[in-house]
Amino acid sequence: MDETRSPAGRLVVEVGRTADRLRSMGVARLGAAFEPEPTRAAAARAVAQRLANAAADLLGDGHRAVPVVAVSAAGDQVAVCGRDLFDAASVSTVPSGVVDATLTDACEALLDLRRRV
């Protein structure tokens, strides 16, 4: 089976591509005005929060706010939260269909962010 076709494999690919895209942007561009979020970095943080919430849901944990980091760390924040989601999916006891749907939703959020920034 091609691992990039599985939801978990696709998540790894999408997290990597999105984090790399954000890391390649200059600080000025990441911090510039961007609709509907205030900045591209804020849009990245919103997706990171979505990934963190999804990981918490898979583990049965409560949601916690991801920290506000420097705009230059937007790509790293997405990468860390994406890895946390991957790890949570690997050990989650929820039904596999729910895990797959959660990962697919996360991939769509990452793809949407990458297309918009």
Please give the chain's pLDDT, 117 residues, in tens.
445 589 999 999 999 999 999 999 999 999 999 989 999 999 999 999 999 999 999 999 999 999 999 999 999 999 999 999 999 999 999 999 999 999 999 999 999 999 999
- Token reading at 10: 């696709």
Task: Check residue 93 and report its DSSP letter.
Answer: -
- Token reading at 93: 């006891």
**pTM of the complete model:** 0.94
Q: Kindly list the domain boundaries of the chain, sorted by start residue.
A: 3-116
Is the CB of residue 106 less than 8 Å from the CB of residue 51? yes
